[in-house]
Amino acid sequence: MTTFALVTATLFSSTTFAQVSPSDSDGQAVHKAVPVAQPLTLSEAIRLALQFSPQIVANQQELAASEGAVIQAGARPNPEVQALLEDTRRDSRTTTVQLSQPIELGGKRSARISVAEAARAQTAVDIEGRRAQIRADVADAFFAAAIAQERVKLAQASVDLSMRGTDAVSKRVQAGKVSAVDETRAKVAHAGVRLELLQAQSELRSARQGLAALLGPASAVRAQTLVWQSGVQPAARNLEASQLSDVPVLRQARLEVDKRQAMVELEEARRVPDVTLTLGAKRDQQVGRNQAVIGLAIPIPVLDTNRGNLLQALRLHDKAEADFQATRIRVETEWVQLTERQRFAQAEVDVLRSEVLPGAESAWQAATTGFELGKFSFLDALDAQRTLLQARAQYLRALNELYRTNANIDRLLGTSGEEQTTSKP
């Protein structure tokens, strides 16, 4: 097997991930004793991110606080004890002790409980949406880092290939078989691929940092080694726009409508005046006996009928209804756009995998073999190499777009990226 064929076999070998060695100024790998962290899978990354997320902790505390709001909403008014003393002289003094109990009418207590329960349900859905957001963010960052690692492998293989090609041209120049111009072109091409390697390594470091930020400081080192199978790709979702009613953002908007309706009912109930029942005893020293005291107080709703609060609650309910309709339209539009992007990205990946990459590899093998036999110039082999590497880079970009689109779909639907996968040969 020729040197070029060996490089091709390395370039298209099965996908494995490990710590990438840094390169010196000539693109040569500098091997260092670096401890390899435990490989990280997507499911493990999602678990670590959900466990670390401060936002999830904050939402859980908010949910616990909403339980207190429900308890408080069900509390009844406290009774009131009152003592009155009329005249300070013992012989003519009158002492009254009474107990007053406000009684709520109009269903105020049940309306308050409905408002508190609706707020609690919103918090629970918010937690579910936040978890879906984290899962989608982790999947996006995970595959971005995985693709970046593949780009580094591709760039390193390109450097090795270009170096071997440059050496071969130099030997032909020394033998007088080709001109020195070809050697200069080969060196320029080699410098270009070295710059591509440096850029790929920089993008890899950035992608790993983005993933590590989601996993937390304790698990950041595990972002250095990822376990990923390029043959496992997201499956297409077959949902109609009318089946999107259960996505977290729509459920949140619907619960906001329910809460506003409960607040309208609460303000309507507050228009009904409460009564205060009073029971007690009165001791009149002049009469020389105890007397029962019974009272009933009813406010007269003439000056304050709670009309302003009711009007505000009604308009806010109308606003919540309009927001729900706007959110539904936005979700349906975003769903159509995402599914179309997913179909196009999947089609591009399939075409590149089945047609473009095999054709580019075959053309490159033919050109390099012809160059070694003296039938083609180095420029022909260099063009074939560049075409092959560009096709491979285009495939990685298309694959990255497919994973990114699927992460956005999971973010919208509130699903996990692991639930919809399919294997590609």
Burial category of 164 from C-beta neighbours within 10 Å (exposed 0-12, middle 13-18, buried 19 and up): middle
Phi-psi region at 87: left, alpha or beta (left = phi > 0; alpha = psi -120 to 50):
left
User: 70, 77, 61, 65: which is closest to 115 by C-alpha?
Assistant: 70
Phi-psi region at 361: left, alpha or beta (left = phi > 0; alpha = psi -120 to 50):
alpha
Residue range 171-183: mean pLDDT, rounded: 72
Neighbours of 24 (CB within 10 A): 9
User: Global pTM?
Assistant: 0.70
pLDDT digits (tens, 9 = 90+) for 108-127: 999 999 999 999 999 988 88
Q: Is residue 287 part of a domain?
A: yes
- Provide the CA 165 distance to its chain's centre, in angstroms: 45
- Provide the CA 404 distance to its chain's centre, in angstroms: 11
Largest CA distance in the chain: 139
Residues found in the chain: 425
CA dist., res. 378 & res. 193, Å (int): 16
Is 371's pLDDT higher than 60?
yes
Is 3's pLDDT higher than 60?
no
Q: Is residue 252 part of a domain?
A: yes
CA dist., res. 221 & res. 207, Å (int): 13
- State residue 235's pLDDT score: 63
Q: Is residue 176 part of a domain?
A: yes
**Tokens 């497919």, residue?**
402
Beta partners for residue 283, in sequence order: 95, 290
Question: Between the ranges 72-81, 147-156, 239-248, where is the mean pLDDT highest?
Answer: 72-81
CA dist., res. 151 & res. 397, Å (int): 9
Q: Is 128:56 a contact under the CB 8 Å cutoff?
A: no
Least confident among 56-65, 216-225, 337-346: 216-225
Q: Please tell me which residue, 33 or 294, carries the higher pLDDT value.
A: 294
Q: Is residue 404 part of a domain?
A: yes
Q: Is residue 36 part of a domain?
A: no
Least confident among 12-26, 253-267, 338-352: 12-26
Query: Which residue segment(s) compose the domain that 386 sits in?
Result: 42-413
Burial category of 71 from C-beta neighbours within 10 Å (exposed 0-12, middle 13-18, buried 19 and up): exposed
Q: Is residue 236 part of a domain?
A: yes
Least confident among 72-86, 106-120, 156-170: 156-170
What percent of the chain shows pLDDT beyond 90?
23
pLDDT digits (tens, 9 = 90+) for 17-55: 333 344 444 444 444 444 445 778 888 888 888 888 888
Q: Is residue 37 part of a domain?
A: no
Q: Is 334:278 a contact under the CB 8 Å cutoff?
A: no
pLDDT digits (tens, 9 = 90+) for 213-262: 888 876 767 777 777 666 556 666 666 655 677 888 899 999 999 999 99
Q: Is 18:225 a contact under the CB 8 Å cutoff?
A: yes
- State residue 13's pLDDT score: 38
Q: Is residue 425 part of a domain?
A: no
Q: At 54, which CATH number?
A: 1.20.1600.10
Q: What's phi and psi for 245, nearest 5 deg?
A: -70, -15
Instruction: Quote the number of domains for the chain.
Output: 1
